[in-house]
Amino acid sequence: MASTSNLLDTKTLTLNDILGNGKIYHVPQYQRDYSWERDNWEALWTDLLDAYRDNDAHYMGSIVLQIKGDESDKQYWIIDGQQRFSTLSILILAAIDKINKLAEAGNDAENNRERAELLMKQYIGQKDPSSLSYSSKLFLNENSDGFYQQRLLHFKQPVNYAKLNDAEKLLWDAFEYYRKQIDSLFIEENGEKIAAFLTKTVGEFLKFIQITVTDELNAYTVFETLNSRGVELTATDLLKNFLLSLVSKNSGDSDLRMVKAQWKKIIDAVGLKKFPVFLRYYLNARNTFVKQEQLFKSIKKTVKTAQDVVDLLEQLEKFAYIYNALYNPEDELWGGDKAIKEDIGSLNLFRVTLCQPLLMIAFDKLDPTAFRKVLNAIVAISFRYNVIGKLQTNEMEKAYNNTAVKVYNGTLTSAAQVIDDLKDLYLDDETFKRYFELKSINTSNSQQKKIARYILYKIEGQLPSGIKTDYAIDDGTIEHILPENINSHWSEIFNAEEHLRNVYMLGNLSLLEASKNSREAAQKPFADKLQVYQTSRYALSNGITSTEWNVRMIQHRQAALAKTACGIWKI
């Protein structure tokens, strides 16, 4: 942490420490709304119960605060931690509400009224004697703060729950959830015990690592350092805060609203969890290779003004739709192009993603015909390199990045140039055949079974009398010539070790109608199976002419399939 020691102040504090000494906390207006739901509330309550029953501390993780104005003002922006701050405040309000209700019911009324007032002052804020409104310790963002200050702090039921916005509904639902939990925990209705629960379990046993910084840039530097050391912070939220803080400083409210709306479009398009991956792919389509932990440094180098933010979001929105389409063969971006749809489907089946930066920039920069050729070449490369070869991907990612940058810079402008630039990733025929001849695919695994079907149907379609059809919709089944479960007949030909080594070899796999596979072939001797194969509509089966089936024949057939495969997955 030495590199950031001059940027921050780090302390381990209790909630009593954090909310004491007149400190005020503000959620920046550009941060996301309150979003915790029941799962989050339950997890927090479970942690609190453990601390309460064990009489022991519970660590709540890191919070990142930025000093607002002069340090002596004791006012802070919450850069990371607003969901926890908001939820704990609601939980405290629910407990105070319980004490208030005890007082109203005449249960130790005077003492409980005093307890409620002291707890409000300690954790929530002081009441102004003239306006009777609270000088709150916590201010939420623009979509949530009015409801928090005017309703929750005064324990007022919403006038019309259905008219609340999503964040307000969650705030009220959280309050209702914790009221029920408090009721269940303190059945004996003892205000003193409830107050002790707040001041000790919530106030003293909850501990935070508080990280205080002086400005936004330092906050994101802190984030990068902590994130690289395994401290979980919300990467996407912090990037959003950084970008929108630049806009809020230099532009009006209308510009900020516009930028927030565009950010939402991007997040809605790619998904909150996928956004960091999308951002890295976007950056790697135009820059020297960027690792995940370098994302924010890369952004900060180029995004320094409000206009830079606008330009970046324009590009991100455009590429978000391309990124999404690369994971969906039926996306409207592909129109009716069957070849592109099939190739996109193949890459998704292979679970190959390192090529996405290149495909994103190729779609943007190259003409449609060139893009189609590059995509098809990448399918061939991926099948040879990733599916059959199972080679290391470290160098592959860098190679795709280098080519993508050249396409972005205009150095490579045709499909032929792009494909030639990727030639080091393309396994030559002899190498590919060697890998293919040794390939075994465990069809008891659902994903591997799809790969096996894909390969068999592709080869089937290449044979002279083969059926050209889609592996995903045809009702043919994978036939294991040497059965997966062997009987006494097959065990005379294959011992246990030979069976284990050969049953999932590609040379032992074929295609067969479902009825013939389960009823007619099954575990029968090879001679009986052969008669069934000759009636099959699949060339892979009716083309088998061997009179026996053993290890040598599996190897021989797999070598023949390898030759056919060379002609299918090729550039």
pLDDT digits (tens, 9 = 90+) for 462-511: 999 999 999 989 999 999 999 998 888 999 999 999 999 999 999 999 99
User: CB 392: neighbour CB atoms within 10 A?
Assistant: 8
Strand segments (E) across 119-269: 125-127, 134-136, 138-139, 206-213
User: CB 497: neighbour CB atoms within 10 A?
Assistant: 8
Q: Checking DSSP bridges between strand 138-139 and strand 24-26, what pairing results, if any?
A: parallel
Q: Which pLDDT tens digits describe the chain residue by residue (571 residues)?
A: 334 444 456 778 899 998 877 889 998 876 778 999 999 999 999 989 988 988 888 888 888 888 877 766 788 888 878 899 999 999 999 999 999 999 999 999 999 999 999 999 999 887 665 555 667 899 998 888 999 999 999 999 999 999 999 999 999 999 999 999 999 999 888 899 999 999 999 999 998 888 887 766 566 566 555 554 444 445 576 677 778 778 877 666 678 888 888 998 998 889 878 888 899 899 989 888 777 767 777 787 788 888 999 999 999 999 999 999 999 999 999 999 999 999 999 999 999 999 999 999 999 999 999 999 999 999 999 999 999 999 888 889 999 999 999 999 999 999 999 999 999 999 999 999 999 999 999 999 999 999 999 999 999 999 999 999 999 899 999 999 999 988 889 999 999 999 999 999 999 999 999 888 766 667 789 999 999 999 999 999 999 999 899 999 999 999 999 999 999 999 9
The partner residues of 75 in beta bridges, in order of sequence, read 24
Could you tell me which of 19, 437, 480 has the C-alpha nearest to residue 206? 19
DSSP state of 159: S
Q: Cα–Cα distance between 153 and 136 in angstroms, integer? A: 9
Q: What is the pLDDT of residue 245?
A: 75
Q: Cα–Cα distance between 133 and 149 in angstroms, integer? A: 8
Task: Mention every residue, 6+ apart, whose C-beta is less than 8 A from residue 64.
Answer: 78, 79, 80, 81, 211, 213, 219, 222, 223, 233
| The Cα angle at residue 471 between residues 466 and 475, in degrees rounded to 5 | 90
- Inter-helix orientation angle 82-104/166-185, to 10°: 50
Could you tell me which of 550, 539, 492, 552 has the C-alpha nearest to residue 512? 539
Q: What is the pLDDT of residue 230?
A: 41
In the structure encoding, which two tokens stand for residue 146, read together? 């009015």
Q: Cα–Cα distance between 447 and 241 in angstroms, integer? A: 39
Could you tell me which of 502, 505, 439, 30 has the C-alpha nearest to residue 244? 30
- Inter-helix orientation angle 109-119/82-104, to 10°: 160
Q: What is the pLDDT of residue 212?
A: 85
Q: Cα–Cα distance between 279 and 266 in angstroms, integer? A: 11
DSSP state of 153: G
User: CB 141: neighbour CB atoms within 10 A?
Assistant: 20
CB 561 within 8 A of CB 459: yes
CB 135 within 8 A of CB 24: no
Largest pairwise CA distance in the chain: 101
Q: Checking DSSP bridges between strand 206-213 and strand 8-14, what pairing results, if any?
A: antiparallel
Q: Give me the helices (H) in 11-72, please.
A: 15-19, 38-54
**Domain locations in the chain as residue ranges:** 2-213, 234-325, 332-427, 435-568
Which conformational region is residue 351 in: left (phi greater than 0), alpha (psi within -120 to 50 degrees), or beta?
left
In the structure encoding, which two tokens stand for residue 5, read together? 């020691």
pTM, whole model, 2 decimals?
A: 0.66
